[in-house]
Amino acid sequence: MILLIFGPPGSGKGTQITELAEKFELTPIPSPGDLFRKINDDEIKKYTSTGKLVPDELVAKLIFGEIGDKDNFILDGYPRNLNQAETLENFLKEKNKRLDYVVYLKVSEEEIVARISNRRVCSKCGRNYNLITNPPIDNKCGCGGELTLREDDKEDVIRTRLTVFNEQTQPLLEFYKDRLITVDGEQNIQNVFENICKELEK
C-alpha cells in the first residue's frame, strides 16, 4: 500500500504516520524538510541557507531515492504542489505502482490556533507542555524553569502558516479526489486512527 497524509501544523499528523506505519507495515518516507537536514548536501544548502525554495527536480531526486523499489510506504509533506504530484504519478506509473490513498486530517483553523497557542516550552530544559492537554504545575517546569511561548507558536504566525498550507493543499485535494479519505482530525488521537483504519480496510 502507498499512502500520503496531509494535515495542517498541529493536526497530530506525525503520530498518525507512526501508528499507520506500524499497523500496515509501511516505511515512512521522511518529509523533504527532514531529508534536507539529514543529508546536509552542499547543493541543497545553497537554497535552504538563503531561504529559497529547493527546486522541484532536486526534491524529486531525493524523495524518489528514498522510495527506491519499496512497495509499501507512507509519504509526508511530498508532493506539495501540482507539479510535484504529477511527477510522482509518472514515477510510480513507470514502476507499475500507484498512490492508493490520500488521507487528509481536517482540523478547523480555530482548533489549530487553540492547540498551538497553548503550547509552552521550558526556557531551561526545553521540555514541552500544553496548557490544556499536558498542563504544568504552578505554571513552571518540573526543573523550575520558566515556560515560554515559541515565536513560531504565536497566533499571527500560526494563521500565516495555515493560509500557506491551505493554498498549497486545496489543489492537491482536488487532484487526488478519487482516492481521498477525509478524517475529522478534531477527535482524540485514537479515534482519528481508528477512522483512518476503517476507511483503509474497506
Residue 185, helix vs strand vs coil: coil
> Of 99-138, which residues contact Zn ion (CB under 5 A)?
122, 124-125, 127
- 106 has catalytic annotation: no
Q: Specify the residue, 129 or 176, whose C-beta has the smaller distance to Zn ion.
A: 129
- 115 has catalytic annotation: no
Please identify which of the residues 150, 159, 179, 198 carries the catalytic annotation. 150
- 52 has catalytic annotation: no
- Cβ atoms within 10 Å of 47's Cβ, excluding its own: 15
Residue 11, helix vs strand vs coil: coil
Q: Is the dihedral of CA 169, 170, 173, 175 positive or negative?
A: negative
- 23 has catalytic annotation: no
The reply on whether position 141 binds Zn ion by CB under 5 A is yes
User: Which of 58, 101, 145, 161 touches Zn ion by CB under 5 A?
Assistant: 145
The reply on whether position 143 binds Zn ion by CB under 5 A is yes
Task: Indicate the burial class of 161 (C-beta count within 10 angstroms; 0-12, 13-18, 19 or more).
Answer: middle
- Chain residues in the site for Zn ion (CB under 5 A): 122, 124-125, 127, 141, 143, 145
